Amino acid sequence: MLFDTHAHLNAMQYSEDVEEVIQRAQHEGVSYIVVVGFDRPTIARAIDLAEQHDFIYAAVGWHPVDAIDMTDEDLHMIEQLAAHPKVVALGEMGLDYYWDKSPKDVQKEVFRKQIALAKKVKLPIIIHNREATADILTILQEENAQEVGGIMHCFTGSFEVAKQCIEMNFYISFGGPVTFKNAKKPKEVAKEIPLEHLLIETDCPYLTPHPFRGKRNEPSYVKYVAEAIAELKGISFEEVAWKTCENAKKLFGINR
């Protein structure tokens, strides 16, 4: 029983073989997948996939890299889709200071608007953070994001930052980097933070875990993330798989 809490099966990298990728995931014990939309086409595709497959759910939001493109109509569309029975979260949203397509002030405004919307529709949020930790924490605090909580996706920050996020009602989600030999920080955090605050994800097609690093990622590889966490904590793979799955179901309000 594995829950991939962050997959982009809506990406063009799967346009040829998405059904095979989904079958492989089921075959490898993946019981739930959240497909995350981040702009107009990927939101539409996430909804399609969630409607076509029982065990696939959708998150809808606007990525900070493309913040400059988000219109009021887009925000309205996200609000409408929040009522869809298979939509379990808003996101991904956040700040990305690595790419400079969207100015920081625009990113912040789009992030704040989506947090406000999440509070209105009462859905948890999925946070994307790249080189913007201090501003992310400030905005989560100022907007009282604690009210809805959510996920710090593909977390690579420090133990101290992880603790602050947990205090604000957020889960810490690990992806491929926790399996990389040179990834000191994620390994340390995964070891120290109690399992009840952890989730697992692939963020596929990116960030492929060891031993497939460099190849296209897919949900069936989420087991390698669970294995790495089990090894770091000195507990069984089954315990990590089961508890992270229970955590995700609770957060997303999934009862099946």
Which range, of 86-94, 156-164, 217-225, 236-244, touches Zn ion by CB under 5 A?
86-94
Closest listed residue to residue 172, CA positions, set 159, 184, 231? 159
Sign of CA dihedral 236, 170, 135, 98: positive
Nearer to Zn ion, 37 or 230 (CB): 37
**Residue ranges in 7-46 that form contacts with Zn ion under rule CB under 5 A:** none
- Min dist CB 256 to Zn ion, Å, is 24
- Min dist CB 236 to Zn ion, Å, is 28
Residue 113 binding Zn ion, by CB under 5 A? no
Nearer to Zn ion, 7 or 229 (CB): 7
Among 45, 128, 210, 223, binds Zn ion (CB under 5 A): 128
Nearer to Zn ion, 118 or 230 (CB): 118
**Residue ranges in 204-243 that form contacts with Zn ion under rule CB under 5 A:** none
Which range, of 14-22, 24-32, 92-100, 103-111, touches Zn ion by CB under 5 A?
92-100
Nearer to Zn ion, 179 or 217 (CB): 217
- Min dist CB 11 to Zn ion, Å, is 9
Q: Angle CA(45)–CA(47)–CA(49) in degrees, nearest 5?
A: 70
Which range, of 13-21, 85-93, 98-106, 111-119, touches Zn ion by CB under 5 A?
85-93
- Min dist CB 96 to Zn ion, Å, is 8
Which range, of 18-26, 127-135, 210-218, 224-232, touches Zn ion by CB under 5 A?
127-135
Nearer to Zn ion, 72 or 100 (CB): 100
**Residue ranges in 184-203 that form contacts with Zn ion under rule CB under 5 A:** 203
DSSP characters over the chain: -EEEEEE-TTSGGGTTTHHHHHHHHHHTTEEEEEEEE-SHHHHHHHHHHHHH-TTEEEEE---GGGGGG--HHHHHHHHHHTTSTTEEEEEEEEEE-SS-SS-HHHHHHHHHHHHHHHHHHT--EEEEEES-HHHHHHHHHHTTGGGT-EEETT--S-HHHHHHHHHTTEEEEE-GGGGSTT-HHHHHHHHHS-GGGEEE---BTSSPPTTSTTSPP-GGGHHHHHHHHHHHHTS-HHHHHHHHHHHHHHHHT---
Q: Using CB under 5 A, list all residues that contact Zn ion.
A: 92, 128, 203
